[in-house]
Amino acid sequence: MRKTTLTDQYIILKNGFRLAYYDSGQAADNQSTVILLHGYCGSSAYWTDILPHLKEHARVIIPDLRGHGVSEAQNGQVYEMDNFAGDILELLDALELKKTALVGHSLGGYITLAAAGRYPERISGFALIHSTALPDSEEARQNREKAVQAIKQDGITVFVDGLVPKLFAPKHLESEPEQVQFAREIGYGTSAQGAAATALGMKARPDRTNVIHQAAVPVLLVAGAEDLVVRPENTFQGAEGNEAVQTHLLEGAGHMGMLEAASGLAEVLHKFIALL
């Protein structure tokens, strides 16, 4: 069975909670540093199939976000995206990193945008993978509330069992059952309290298309052609008029390109890293 977290180190945040992370080691003189941020009810292990392709070309750091994987759930009923971004800033400071690129999947993309808006001087470039700068629609906000109630009523295991199949392209539910089960096993490790607080944080996030419009660093937007969670047109929102922004459509992929189309996504990310 594959590990459900890649992390093997941790820092203690200023609020006293543990944030776990993986670090491939010091970058060579000509290499960039890249932080990979996973999605909701995921962990650093979401990037298991991507890591071997990237660590030869960059220093790769992959945390478990608060309340996910083996990072501790923190106090509070709502984990706003700025809270997550603050955790990542503390990680940068602890590792004495002046600048890094951020690559965020889904929830990780929301955090990436919050970080790029909050401390742009620390960001050398950023990528959104199956994510969007748009806020939740009214329907999506209602679904966040339903998710919180489901987690509180039924627990994280039942919730993850219902969530994960929606993340994959329908054809992959039959052709890639091992990857689907891997995503489930990762999700089971999420704190119920952390998952509920994160859902409410995603519900509260603002429109951040201006962060993409105003970016002066390389930006990559990657969508799955069969993503039923974040439609490609929503991922690519904000790309117009900024030559620093590149877009890429992963054919055949749903919301989990890291597991559904790892080699293709890794190639796209490698080219992005070369621009940093």
pLDDT in tens, 131-188: 999 999 999 999 999 999 999 999 999 999 999 999 999 999 999 999 999 999 999 9
29 has a pLDDT exceeding 80: no
Band of pLDDT at residue 81, cut at 50, 70 and 90: very high
Going by C-alpha positions, the residue among 233, 227, 189 that lies closest to residue 209 is 233
Q: What are phi and psi of 36, to 5 degrees?
A: -100, 125
Sequence-distant (≥ 6) Cβ neighbours of residue 93 within 8 angstroms: none
Please report the domains of the chain, with CATH numbers, ordered by start residue: 9-273 (3.40.50.1820)
Of the candidates 95, 110, 105, which has an alpha carbon nearest to the alpha carbon of residue 48? 105
Decide: 50 and 266 in contact? Cβ < 8 Å: yes
The DSSP output letter for 168 is S
219-224/245-250 β-pairing? parallel
Each residue's pLDDT tens digit, 38-64: 999 999 999 999 999 999 899 999 999
Residue 1 has pLDDT above 80, yes or no: no
For 215, phi then psi, to 5°, come to: -60, 135
Distance CA(225)–CA(13), nearest Å, equals: 38
Compute the 3-state secondary structure of the chain and give helix, strand, coil in percent, each to the nearest 5. Answer: 45, 15, 40
Q: 236 φ, ψ to 5°? A: -85, 0
- The pTM assigned to this predicted structure is 0.98
